Amino acid sequence: MVKITAAEVNQLRKQTGAGMMDCKKALVEAEGDINKAIEILRKKGQKIAEKRADRDSSEGAVIAKVNDANTRGVIVSLNCETDFVAKNDSFVAMAQKMADIALDTNSKEEFLKADFDGMTVEEKLIEQTGVIGEKIEIGGFEILEAPFVGGYIHGNKIGALTGLSAASDTAAEVAKNVSMQVASMGATTLSYKDFSPEFVASETEARIAVIEKDNIELGRLGKTLKNVPQFISRSQLTDEVLAKAQEDAKAELKAEGKPEAIWDRILPGKMERFISDNTTLDHEKALLDQNFIMDDSMNVAAYVASKGDATVVGFKRVSLT
pLDDT band at 141 (very low <50, low <70, confident <90, very high): very high
- Does residue 187 fall inside a structural domain? no
Residues 69 and 46 in one domain: no
- Does residue 321 fall inside a structural domain? no
- Does residue 24 fall inside a structural domain? yes
Residues 197 and 307 in one domain: yes
> Across all residues in the chain, what is the average pLDDT?
91
Residues 216 and 251 in one domain: yes
At residue 25, does pLDDT exceed 70?
A: yes
- Does residue 109 fall inside a structural domain? yes
Domain coverage including residue 39: 6-51
Where is the domain boundary, 182, 203, 219? 182
Residues 77 and 139 in one domain: yes
Alpha carbon distance 145, 185 (integer Å): 22
- Does residue 13 fall inside a structural domain? yes
Radius of gyration of the chain (CA): 27
Per-residue model confidence (pLDDT) at position 45: 67
Number of Cβ within a 10 Å radius of residue 274: 20
- Does residue 1 fall inside a structural domain? no
Residues 44 and 133 in one domain: no
pTM listed for this prediction:
0.81
Residues 153 and 41 in one domain: no
Half-sphere exposure of 259 (CA within 13 A, CB side): 3
Alpha carbon distance 91, 128 (integer Å): 9
Per-residue model confidence (pLDDT) at position 198: 97
Q: How many domains does the chain have?
A: 3
Helix axes 6-16, 20-29, angle to 10 degrees: 110
Mean pLDDT of 8-35: 78
Residues 79 and 116 in one domain: yes
Residues 157 and 211 in one domain: no
Q: Which of 162, 144, 142 shows the shortest CA–CA distance to 152? A: 162
Residues 94 and 176 in one domain: yes
Where is the domain boundary, 134, 157, 182? 182
- pLDDT tens for residues 57-101? 889 999 999 999 999 999 999 999 999 999 999 999 999 999 999
Mean pLDDT of 240-268: 94
Residues 111 and 69 in one domain: yes
DSSP per residue over 170-203, as a string? THHHHHHHHHHHHHHH--SBS-GGGS-HHHHHHH
Residues 304 and 200 in one domain: yes
pLDDT band at 7 (very low <50, low <70, confident <90, very high): confident
pLDDT band at 244 (very low <50, low <70, confident <90, very high): very high
**What's the CATH number where 142 sits?**
3.30.479.20
pLDDT band at 49 (very low <50, low <70, confident <90, very high): low
Percent of the chain with pLDDT over 70: 96
Please tell me which residue, 30 or 44, carries the higher pLDDT value. 30
Q: Which residues pair with 78 in a beta bridge?
A: 61, 138
- Does residue 178 fall inside a structural domain? yes
**What's the CATH number where 25 sits?**
1.10.8.10
Where is the domain boundary, 182, 210, 228? 182
Residues 165 and 65 in one domain: yes
- Does residue 35 fall inside a structural domain? yes
